[in-house]
Amino acid sequence: MFARLGRIAVRHPWKVIVVWILAAIAVVSAAPTLTATTDQSAFLPSHYESVQAMNLQQQAFPNDVTPAALIVVERADDTALTAADSAIVTAIAGELSGANIKGINGIQATPPADNRMIQVIAVQMTKVTDPTDKTQTDAVKKLREALGERVDGTDLKAGITGTAAQLLDQTESSEKGMAIIGAATIALILVLLLIIFRSPVIALLPIVTIGAISSTVGGLIAIAVEAFDLKMDSSVNSLLTVVLFGVGTDYILFLMFRYRERLRAGEDPKTAMISAVTRVGEAITSAAGVVIIAFLALTLSTLGMFRALGPALAIAVAVAMLAGLTLIPAIVSLLGTKVFWPSKSWQREPRGVLFSALGSALGRRPAAAAVVSGGVLVALGAAAFGFHPTFDLTSGSTSDTSESAVYGKELLKGMSAGATQPSLVYLQSGAGLADEQLGVYRTELAATPGVGQVGEPRLSSDRGVAEFQVTLTAQPDSDAALATVRGPLRDTAHAAAPAGATAVVGGMTSVFVDFKDAMNHDYTVVFPVAAILIAIVLALLLRSVIAPWYLMVSVGLGFAATLGSAVLVFQQAQGNSGLIFSLPVIMYMFVVALGTDYNILMVARLREEAKEGHDPKQAAALAVRHTAPTIAAAGIILAGSFASMMLAGNTVLSQIGFAISVGVAIAAFVMATFFTPAVTALLGRRVWWPSRMGGESTYRSEYADWDDESTRPTLQPTS
């Protein structure tokens, strides 16, 4: 099949290119606009209590008066506000209200905090239901300009926080991060490919082709999102850029390294490209298949953010694979050896001293290589037991220096931690709620451990629903707050409801509690299903029932080592309270899937060398010599691409970028280069059972000492 595919691309290159162009035009013209949401509750299924509370709130209080923005005012010298200062704050509120900013329904100054360190101006805004509606964020921009003008020349300083301000800062941070990630990824690919191939043509090849197909990928994702009514997280664009360029470049590298190998073996350019597609096509397809399966397994997730993210990234990988096996061969067949211009190094076999030495050392002492590389994985993996999830995605999605983040912290100077995002308890009764019932219920809620205070109930117009604002004693995203909502608060809210009434607990802390339950479900469902499917792909590729077992073990060790590395850096070294709660699932998508990519490339070469008749140790040495350079180059590019996410300036992307880049590096330089070939050499030919590999090695025992250049035979590439 791959030989036929290679012949079509090489013999009819212009037809292949035209098909790609027409397909891109058709997809882009038919695709709807792709919109993302930052509403975390939108990602949870309707049976979760926090979502039920949100739905009840929308039904009972359609004209919600919760402020969309909060203006936090304090003295510039960080002392208590005076009476004169408070008068100025009230005047500023009046002036801002008179500015008639579109989207703002009301501006009201509240009394100063009890300690007079801050005073808040509440801003009511037009409710937004469409994710593309920018009314609130545009209003925040104008409000910030007007606020700055009115605070200048006073002894006060002020800033805007709240949901609308956080959304604006998240959007701006995301756009800035996307620009940085895109530029850093492209620059990294250009520089590394120039170093590897010494040719600007090859360096530009992935940038141009992947950039060209990116619109097709975006269009296909938008079509899928609309067709299946998926909720797309706002972080998808950052991940999509890195996946498309990183994985796409990897597949191009796999092909170009093998193409150069066949040219050095004496084949003409067109034959060499057909041979390259024939020989590496199965490995690329299997590697992409593993990644796609891993991503698509996320459709089993209970979280909408992953159910959408998985198919989106699977589409990107599938298109990158098709381009690597059809579009790239077509373009290269037109260029021929000019693709290496101006370098002539493609004409001669490099000495490959480093990887030859590594290969021969591993071939002689596979046990030592397995113990050392496995020991590194186990040592780093041990730190994974210290993993602690955090749920503060709101502040983590923006820079710590953003205005909403800074003044969100300043707000705590005059308010208790739980007051910034109170929990909301909704009591519902079809017969209506009496004042006496509400008073008794409020008293019960206030007596709950972990609850600081409970506000007066807000009643719906028919008195069928009452809302109680519950201020927790702990910060809303803390472990203590989650424990309070999960246990005492929900238990009390349900048990204390009057006869015939029901109660649900909402608010952001309740959303985090349900997120945690959903994640625990995903760990027990998504991970095992994906592991089984990946093992099946490996068994089919390698025609073996033995190899998939230890390959999956190695990938599992790589996953643990990656999580342990993130724990050591962010929790131990930097002193953060924890890592974002979704990191293990995101790591699973990339580290397990992409780590298996490199294992597949290495084991496919090990199998190829075994079929040539080499004994297990010689096969391992040859596989490391010929394949490790490809894996190293691909690993550096992919790890560097994900590392660029650390430049985006927010905690979420920094943790994701670090974890995935370290995971890819571990997969490339520890698992695939050392651990996998070493274990394969130790297990011997039984690895390929029930397949039967070739006979004895074609190299005699006197050539076993490959470090001796004078006696070592020339090892021409076998594929």
The verdict on whether omega for the bond into residue 311 sits within 30 degrees of 0, i.e. cis, is: no
* Mean pLDDT of all residues in 556-564: 91
Q: Tell me, rounded to whole angstroms, the distance of Cα 187 from its chain centroid.
A: 21
Residue 717: the pLDDT is 39
Question: For residue 558, which of 593, 599, 602, 592 has the smallest C-alpha distance?
Answer: 592
- Phi/psi of residue 713, nearest 5 degrees: -70, 160
Per the prediction, the chain carries an average pLDDT of 83
| Residue bearing tokens 């709620």 | 433
pLDDT of residue 713: 36
- pTM: predicted TM-score of the whole model, two decimal places: 0.74
Positive or negative, the CA dihedral 643, 645, 648, 652 is negative
Angstrom distance (rounded) from CA 278 to CA 704: 31
pLDDT at residue 326 greater than cutoff 60: yes
**Residue 696 above 70 pLDDT?**
no
**DSSP label of 37:** B
CA–CA gap between residue 123 and residue 164 (Å, rounded): 10
Instruction: State the DSSP string of 260-313.
Output: HHHHHTT--HHHHHHHHHHHHHHHHHHHHHHHHHHHHGGGG-SSHHHHHHHHHH
Rounded CA-CA distance 370/363 in Å is 11
Torsion on CA atoms 554, 600, 668, 186, rounded to nearest 10: -140
Q: Is the pLDDT of residue 718 over 70?
A: no
Q: Of the ranges 206-210, 239-243, 264-268, which one carries the lowest mean pLDDT score?
A: 239-243
Residue 591 has pLDDT above 80, yes or no: no
**pLDDT-derived band of residue 712, with 50, 70 and 90 as boundaries?**
very low
Q: Can you tell me whether residue 238 is helix, strand or coil? A: helix
Burial state string for 327-353 with b = 16 or more CB within 10 A and e = fewer than 16: bbbbbbbeeebebbeeeeebeeeeeee
d(CA 501, CA 463): 12
Question: Is residue 3 within 8 Å of residue 277, measured between CB atoms?
Answer: yes
Residue 414 and residue 114 in contact, taking contact as beta carbons nearer than 8 Å = yes
Looking at this protein, which amino acid is placed at residue 313? L
Is residue 603 predicted with pLDDT exceeding 80?
yes
* β-strand partners of 429: 501
Query: At residue 298, what are phi and psi to the nearest 5 degrees?
Result: -70, -10
Contact 331, 17 (CB under 8 A): yes
Residue 714 in this model has a pLDDT that exceeds 50: no
245 near 641, Cβ under 8 Å?
yes
- Return the amino acid letter for 714: T
Q: What percent of the chain lies above the pLDDT cut of 70?
A: 89
As a whole number of angstroms, the longest Cα–Cα distance in the chain is 98
More confident residue, 202 or 175: 202
The pairing of beta strand 104-109 with beta strand 119-125: antiparallel
- 142-186 per-position pLDDT tens digit: 999 999 999 998 999 999 988 888 888 877 777 777 777 778 878
pLDDT digits (tens, 9 = 90+) for 65-104: 667 888 999 999 999 999 999 999 999 999 998 888 988 8
**Are 160 and 140 within 8 A, CB to CB?**
yes
- In degrees and rounded to multiples of 5, residue 33 shows phi and psi of -75, 135
- What would the two tokens of residue 244 be? 């498309």
**Strand pairing category for 156-161 and 501-506:** unpaired
Q: In what order do the strands lie in the sheet with 156-161?
A: 104-109, 119-125, 69-75, 156-161
Give me 474's structure tokens: 């702990």
- Strands (DSSP E) contained in 391-489 are 423-429, 451-454, 458-459, 465-472
Q: Cα(645)–Cα(663) distance, rounded to whole angstroms?
A: 14
Residue-by-residue DSSP string for 187-207: HHHHHHHHHHH--HHHHHHHH
Q: Which tens digits make up the pLDDT trace of 327-356?
A: 999 999 999 889 888 888 777 766 657 878
Q: What is the mean pLDDT of residues 54-74?
A: 84
Average pLDDT over residues 56-71: 82
Residue 649: the pLDDT is 67
Amino acid at 488: P
Instruction: Using the predicted structure, report yes or no on whether residue 654 has a pLDDT greater than 80.
Output: yes
Dihedral over alpha carbons 215, 219, 222, 223 (to 10 degrees): -170
> Are the C-beta atoms of 464 and 432 separated by less than 8 Å?
yes
Prior bond of 329 cis (ω within 30°): no
Token output for 716: 């021409």
User: What is the model's pLDDT at position 694?
Assistant: 45
Would you say residue 303 has pLDDT above 80?
no
Provide the pLDDT for residue 38.
54
For 603-618, what is the mean pLDDT?
86
Lowest mean pLDDT of 212-221, 240-249, 439-448, name the range.
240-249
> What whole-number distance in Å separates Cα of residue 118 and Cα of residue 411?
7
Q: With contact defined as beta carbons under 8 Å apart, do 119 and 113 qualify?
A: yes
Half-sphere exposure of 443 (CA within 13 A, CB side): 7
Q: Are 482 and 516 in contact (CB under 8 A)?
A: yes
pLDDT band at 135 (very low <50, low <70, confident <90, very high): confident
d(CA 457, CA 224): 43
The pLDDT, as a whole number, for residue 31 is: 83
